[in-house]
Chains A and B, each alone.
Chain A
Amino acid sequence: MIVAEQKEISEIINMVGDHNNILVVGCDTCVTVCLAGGAKEAAILSSALRLAYRVKGKEITVEATTIERQCEIEFVDALEPILKRKDLVISMGCGIGVQTIAERFPQLLVVPALNTKFLGLPEKQGVWVERCQACGQCVLDKTGGICPISRCSKSLLNGPCGGSQNGKCEISKDTDCGWHLIYERLKTLGRLESLEEIMPVKNWSTSRDGGPRKVIREDMCL
C-alpha cells in the first residue's frame, strides 16, 4: 500500500491562510490503513483547524468527508455536490488523491495534508516499512522475494557493498543489509546458486529516469 504521514499542523494552517469555507477529504484506502488520512484523521484535522482559527478569533467553516478512493475519478465524482460552496479542499489522500481531485475539479484549489512516503507495509502497530520503489522491472524472482532496489540503501543488484557489517547496513545499525537478507533467504530456499547469475546493468528508464510513466492495455481500452 501507499504509506503517508500527516504534515505538521502549522504547515497545513499556512496553506489554509485566509480561506474560510474548507472541505477536508479523507480516503478510505491506503492512508486509512497507515492511520494518516482516514475518516478519523479527517475529523481530527478539521476539528484542529477550527480550534486553531478560533484561538486567533476567527470563525472558519471546516467540514470533513471521506471517500472510498481518492485515486479514481468515479469515486471523486461523489464530492461534486459538497464542493460547490467550498473555497479550499484539503486532501488527506496520497499525492495521487490530491491530483485526482485537482484534475476532476480544476476550478478548485486542492492542497495536501499528507506527505506521501513510500510503498510498503505495516511491520507492526504504528510502524510502516518500505518494500517497493515501483522501478518498473521486478527482479524479485532472482532474489528470493526480497527487493534489492528498496531494501539495499544503494539499490545494488549483485551483492552487498563493503558497508555491510553483521547483517546491518552502514547507514544505520537499525537498517538491515538488504543483500544479507537476500543471502539468508536464498540459503533457506536452497537456491544460493542463483546468486552466481550476474544481473546486467538495470534499465532505469522504466523507473523515474524515464519520465512520467503510463501503462496502456489496448485490449481493455474502450
Chain B
Amino acid sequence: MMDFTPHIVAFCCENSAYRAVDIAGAKQEGYPSNIQLCRLPCSGKLEINHILRAFEEGADGVFVFACHPDSCKFLKGNVRASKRIEHTASLLEKIGLEKERLRFFHLSELEWAAFLEAVRQGNESIKSLGPSPIKVR
C-alpha cells in the first residue's frame, strides 16, 4: 500500500454531520486533519459540479454526509443528493477516475462516533486507492 496522506473533501449537511463534528469537537475527539469540511445548508444543495471541482482542485476523495432517509429538514434533499452521487460516480468511472473515490454516508447529528468511524474507514479506503491521477499542484 502506498504511504501517502490523501486530501479528502467532506461535504456535510449542517443539520446532521456538521453538528456531529461539533459534538465530536466538544468531546475533544479529533478527526483526521486531512479531511477538509465543507458545510452545506442541506445535502440537496450539492451539485455534481461541486464534486467535480473538488477533484479538479486535487482532492483524492470526496465524502458526502447527508441526513438519514426520511429525516431531511427539507424533505427530499438527501434523496436528491443520493441520486446525484450515483450519477456522478458513474460519470467519474467513465472519465477514468475510480468511483470509490466518491463516498456517500447517512448520519444524524448525534452520531458523532459514527462520523469519526466513517471518516477513519473512508480515509483508509482512499489511501488504498492511492493518490488521485489528477493533481493540480
Contact = CB atoms under 8 A, between A and B. Distances in A.
A48 B87 CA distance: 13
Contacts of B94: 8-10
Contact of A55 (B48, B49, B91, B96): B96
Interface residues on B, range: 10 to 19
A55 B94 CA distance: 11
B95 A9 contact: yes
B112 interface: no
B110 interface: no
Interface string A1-19: 0000000111001000000
Interface in B23-79: 47-49, 52-53, 55-56
Interface stretch (A39-47, A177-185, A205-213): A39-47
Q: How large is the interface on A (under 10, 10 to 19, 20 to 34, 35 or more residues)?
A: 10 to 19
B53 A47 contact: yes
A48 B96 contact: no
Contacts of A51: 52, 55-56, 95, 97, 134
Residue of A8, A10, A51 with highest tally of chain B CB at under 10 A: A51
A54 B133 contact: yes
A50 interface: yes
A56 B134 CA distance: 9
A52 interface: yes
Nearest to A48: B95
Nearest to B53: A47
B134 A47 contact: no
B47 A50 contact: no
A47 B96 CA distance: 13
B34 to A, nearest CB: 21
Contacts of A8: 94
A55 B91 CA distance: 13
Interface in A37-76: 40, 43-44, 47-48, 50-52, 54-56
B134 A43 contact: no
Interface of B: 47-49, 52-53, 55-56, 91, 94-97, 133-134
8 contacts: A13-B95, A40-B49, A43-B49, A52-B96, A54-B56, A55-B97, A55-B134, A56-B96
Given A51-B52, A51-B97, 19 more contacts: A9-B94, A9-B95, A10-B94, A13-B95, A40-B49, A44-B48, A44-B49, A47-B53, A47-B56, A48-B52, A48-B91, A51-B55, A52-B95, A52-B96, A54-B134, A55-B95, A55-B97, A55-B134, A56-B96
